[in-house]
């Protein structure tokens, strides 16, 4: 228990955890072996069952909700692999968010409160501040500051993690997408009329660190026959807030996100499908209902909104043209399932189907591809040693797969893999799925299949070939 805080009164206990949800766990233990933190420690307390048991004990007043519990919940990666294996349907991710929020409100010392306020309530909401933060980070990287500090303090894992961060692109490559990327080919005949246009989430971190992924996403949506619109002025969906125990901030950002995308309408004024290329954001947006009380207007609105959210692979797989050109990718490709795509959204086959449909792509399965890579939002920066320990088995699996390219579908995972493989596999490339699809469009435009080969598309490819010089995935890596 934190020495500066008192134990909450029993009447307050129910609000600290979702006690009713904790009763779903039947203690079978099927989730234990798959949990990365249990694998690292072998301790029951670091397992999903142990954590749920602790939450239940808090709800019953048998356990003090203090710094020990906060530490255990902070050690958890929030990967939700336990949910995929749970026969009782325990909603671990939801329970974790509720408990983290309560504990953060009660046991966060003021300097950390200030950092949380600045990062979660100010920076992630402002494109200007995010851009400023990215420019500052780039300045530090280019001056060698992090490397120098890491050499000076060799035992600081956090400085080592900062020194290993992938390079922040120049400001010119961090420009936002245009409000509209027009379709460059007709869509499939059976497509919903309202899919002539879709909306796309740009996100908070993606435009600053992996803007090329957003550009590849918009281009490939356009080439699959839908105009791609963005929500000008919108920044963050609130996933970072929810995962870091700030549910009030997450609620506010959920409302602004729904406002921004509800304002984008297509045929017959119907709201557009929202395509998301970040697994963590997509999982969170599909679960906005968890943030609001059932029966409220917000809850009903969140339900309707969730039905329109699609992950990029989920949206593209049924629309992928039958003929596409070779991608020019030579090395075998391994797909790593982002936790919030496979465990959070149940999407596993679509990304593989897309890769398998691209001529020239040789896909290999990586052992235990549903295991967490250790990125987990801001976890890799907050707990770099634990993140590295979790990543070690992924690094080994990649090496054993014989792949030369790692494909993922989440920005945090991409950054973790880029940093993690930089030393052990310097020749390896890390790509977002959209970048692999894009290479079928950009690198071999004259050999594209019939649907990808319209005159409009050809012109567009040539134009992009000049504009996008130096920013293809290959060049960027
Ligand atoms: S979310 Fe991941 S790390 Fe946390 S308890 Fe579940 S399996 Fe373990
Ligand atoms: S698999 Fe589900 S029910 Fe079984 S111990 Fe884990 S959380 Fe509890």
Q: 91 CA to middle of ligand 1, Å?
A: 11
Whether 48 lines ligand 1, by a CB cut-off of 6 Å, is: yes
Ramachandran class of 358: left when φ > 0, alpha when ψ lies in -120 to 50, beta otherwise: beta
Q: What is the pLDDT of residue 359?
A: 83
Q: 243 CA to middle of ligand 2, Å?
A: 21
DSSP 79: -
Structure tokens at 340: 């919030």
Q: What is the pLDDT of residues 354-363, one digit of tens each?
A: 999 888 899 9
Q: 48 CA to middle of ligand 2, Å?
A: 7
**Site of tokens 């984008």:** 264
User: What whole-number distance in Å separates Cα of residue 405 and Cα of residue 430?
Assistant: 6
Going by their DSSP bridges, the two strands 405-408 and 429-432 should be labelled as parallel
Structure tokens at 113: 């409160």
The total number of residues shown for the chain amounts to 477
Q: 268 CA to middle of ligand 1, Å?
A: 44
Q: What angle do CA 410, 412, 416 make, to 5 degrees?
A: 115
Q: What angle do CA 305, 293, 114 make, to 5 degrees?
A: 90
Q: What is the pLDDT of residue 325?
A: 67
Strand order in 309-311's β-sheet? 180-181, 227-230, 197-200, 274-276, 309-311
Whether 93 lines ligand 2, by a CB cut-off of 6 Å, is: no
Q: What angle do CA 169, 170, 176 make, to 5 degrees?
A: 85
Q: Which atom of ligand 1 is nearest to the CA of 81?
A: 7
Nearest to 208 by CA among 179, 241, 169: 169
The pTM is what? 0.88
Structure tokens at 36: 């990365």
Q: 48 CA to middle of ligand 1, Å?
A: 6
User: What whole-number distance in Å separates Cα of residue 11 and Cα of residue 4?
Assistant: 20
The DSSP annotation for 16-72 comes to HS-HHHHTT-----TTGGG-HHHHHH--GGGSHHHHHHHHHHHHTTSS--SHHHHHH
Q: What is the pLDDT of residue 65?
A: 86
What percent of the chain is helix, strand and coil (3-state, nearest 5)?
60, 5, 35
Nearest to 339 by CA among 408, 245, 242: 408
- With the most atoms of ligand 2 within 8 angstroms of its CB, the residue from 21, 23, 28 to mutate is 28
> CA separation (Å) from 277 to 112, 282, 414, 473?
31, 7, 12, 15
- With the most atoms of ligand 2 within 8 angstroms of its CB, the residue from 18, 90, 93 to mutate is 90
User: What whole-number distance in Å separates Cα of residue 177 and Cα of residue 208?
Assistant: 12
Q: What is the pLDDT of residue 303?
A: 97
- With the most atoms of ligand 2 within 8 angstroms of its CB, the residue from 22, 24, 25 to mutate is 25
Nearest to 373 by CA among 403, 318, 411: 411
Q: What angle do CA 132, 134, 137 make, to 5 degrees?
A: 110
Taking 70 as the pLDDT cut, the residues of the chain under it are: 1-14, 188-194, 322-325, 441-477
The sign of the CA dihedral 312, 314, 315, 321 is positive
Instruction: Kindly report the backbone phi and psi dihedral angles of residue 170, in degrees, each rounded to the nearest multiple of 5, phi listed first.
Output: -65, 160
Q: What is the pLDDT of residues 377-417, one digit of tens each?
A: 889 889 999 999 999 999 999 999 999 999 999 999 999 99
User: What whole-number distance in Å separates Cα of residue 381 and Cα of residue 466?
Assistant: 37
User: What whole-number distance in Å separates Cα of residue 146 and Cα of residue 280?
Assistant: 28
Q: What angle do CA 92, 295, 299 make, to 5 degrees?
A: 60
| Domains, the chain, ordered by start | 10-108 (1.10.1060.10)
Whether 28 lines ligand 2, by a CB cut-off of 6 Å, is: yes
Q: 29 CA to middle of ligand 2, Å?
A: 5
Nearest to 275 by CA among 346, 226, 348: 226
Whether 52 lines ligand 2, by a CB cut-off of 6 Å, is: yes
Whether 210 lines ligand 2, by a CB cut-off of 6 Å, is: no
């Amino acid at each position: 228990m934190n020495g500066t805080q008192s134990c909450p009164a029993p009447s307050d206990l129910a609000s600290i955890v979702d006690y009713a949800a904790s009763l779903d766990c039947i203690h079978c233990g099927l989730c234990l072996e798959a949990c990365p933190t249990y694998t690292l420690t072998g301790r029951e307390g670091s397992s999903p069952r142990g954590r749920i048991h602790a939450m239940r004990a808090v709800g019953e007043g048998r356990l003090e909700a203090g710094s020990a519990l906060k530490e255990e919940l902070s050690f958890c990666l929030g990967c939700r692999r336990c949910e995929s294996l749970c026969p009782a349907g325990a909603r671990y991710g939801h329970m974790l968010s509720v408990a983290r929020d309560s504990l953060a409100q009660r046991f966060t010392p003021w300097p950390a409160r200030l950092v949380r306020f600045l990062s979660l309530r100010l920076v992630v909401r402002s494109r200007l501040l995010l851009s400023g933060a990215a420019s500052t980070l780039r300045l530090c990287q280019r001056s060698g500051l992090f490397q120098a500090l890491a050499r000076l303090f060799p035992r600081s894992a956090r400085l080592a993690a900062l020194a290993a961060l992938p390079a922040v692109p120049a400001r010119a490559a961090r420009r936002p997408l245009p409000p509209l990327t027009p379709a460059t080919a007709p869509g499939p005949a059976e497509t919903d009329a309202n899919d002539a246009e879709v909306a796309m989430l740009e996100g908070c971190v993606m435009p600053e660190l992996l803007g090329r992924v957003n550009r590849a996403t918009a281009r490939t949506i356009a080439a699959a026959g839908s105009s791609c619109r963005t929500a000008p002025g919108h920044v963050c969906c609130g996933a970072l807030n929810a995962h870091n125990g700030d549910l009030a901030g997450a609620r506010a950002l959920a409302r602004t996100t729904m406002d921004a995308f509800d304002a984008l309408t297509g045929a017959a004024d119907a709201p557009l499908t929202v395509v998301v290329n970040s697994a963590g954001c997509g999982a969170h947006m599909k679960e906005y209902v968890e943030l609001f009380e059932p029966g409220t207007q917000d809850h009903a609105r969140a339900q309707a909104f969730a039905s329109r959210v699609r992950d990029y692979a989920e949206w593209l797989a049924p629309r992928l043209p039958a003929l596409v050109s070779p991608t020019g990718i030579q090395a075998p490709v391994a797909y790593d399932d982002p936790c919030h795509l496979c465990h959070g959204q149940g999407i596993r086959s679509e990304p593989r189907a897309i890769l398998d449909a691209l001529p020239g792509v040789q896909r290999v399965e990586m052992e235990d591809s549903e295991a967490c890579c250790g990125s987990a939002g801001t976890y890799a920066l907050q707990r770099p040693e634990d993140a590295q320990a979790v990543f070690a088995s992924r690094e080994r699996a990649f090496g054993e797969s014989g792949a030369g390219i790692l494909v993922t579908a989440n920005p945090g995972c991409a950054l973790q893999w880029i940093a993690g493989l930089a030393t052990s596999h310097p020749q390896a490339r890390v790509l977002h799925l959209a970048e692999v699809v894009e290479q079928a469009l950009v690198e071999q435009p004259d050999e594209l299949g019939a649907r990808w080969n319209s005159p409009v598309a050809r012109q567009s490819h040539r134009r992009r070939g000049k504009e996008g010089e130096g920013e293809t995935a290959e060049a960027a890596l």
